[in-house]
Every structure is written in C-alpha cells, then in structure tokens.
Amino acid sequence: MSLHISRGWPGQQHMEAECPCPTEACGYVDTSKVVDACEQHPVARAKTIRSSHDSRACPARNGERSVS
C-alpha cells in the first residue's frame, strides 16, 4: 500500500511540479516512488504534508476503474 501525498494545499501542486519525484495522474507524489534526491517528500525528511490519500482511493483512478 502506498499514499499519494502533496505538500501543497488541495489544488496547489506547485511543490510537486518542481521536485524530481514522478507524479501520479492526480498530481500528487506516490510515497513508493519518492526520489531520494528530493528534499520535499522522503519520509526521512518528513516535512509538512498537507494533502494525502490512499493510492487505491486516488480520485484520478475513479474514472478508469469500475464505477458503480
């Protein structure tokens, strides 16, 4: 299991846009894909994460997975 995290407020993913981590369809960074060189997202550097959701509950996936 992993989380999608963002250091910006909802709707503000400028932090993620400028960091080296790959972003998911929702614009957040997957905790399992965080790049060590990033100074924002590695857990060891644990800075304020303002937004997050379970990767399985990613809003960007709702449209491609079973919608019922």
Interface residue list for Zn ion (CB under 5 A): 4, 19, 21, 24, 26, 28, 38, 40-41, 58
- Judged by beta carbon, residue 4 or residue 31, the one nearer Zn ion is 4
What is the CB-side half-sphere exposure of residue 24 using CA atoms within 13 A? 23
Q: Where are the beta strands (DSSP E) in 1-68?
A: 3-6, 29-30, 51-54
- Judged by beta carbon, residue 21 or residue 49, the one nearer Zn ion is 21
Q: What is the closest distance, in whole angstroms, from the C-beta atom of residue 12 to Zn ion in the complex?
A: 15
- Judged by beta carbon, residue 37 or residue 66, the one nearer Zn ion is 37
